[in-house]
Amino acid sequence: MANHKSSIKRIRSNSAKRLRNRYQAKTTRNAIKTLRSATTKEDAAPLLSKVISMLDRLAKKNVIHKNKASNNKSKLTKFVSKLA
């Protein structure tokens, strides 16, 4: 166990941040799955903008790598553009 006040606080804040990051990452993954299950372009277009925003936010906060966010956005955009 940590002995310094600052390290105890750091442990506490790290666990809070970890929970927040896990929640946001899981929410984004679920949104991607929902987008992938869309069958029409009209359904998928509004979801795409929300998912792209979520991915950008995760990359900005270093929860996921910026290249992973970019790759996901590219693949999802191609997927939506191919829908009828």
- pLDDT tens, position by position, 3-43: 899 999 999 999 999 999 999 999 999 999 999 999 999 99
Can you give the pLDDT at residue 29?
98
Number of neighbouring beta carbons within 10 Å of residue 64: 18
- The stretch 64-73 carries a mean pLDDT of 98
Q: What is the DSSP string of the chain?
A: ---SHHHHHHHHHHHHHHHHHHHHHHHHHHHHHHHHT--SHHHHHHHHHHHHHHHHHHHHTTSS-HHHHHHHHHHHHHHHHH--
Return the CATH number of 5-82, one of 1.10.150.120, 1.20.58.110, 3.40.50.150, 1.10.10.10.
1.20.58.110
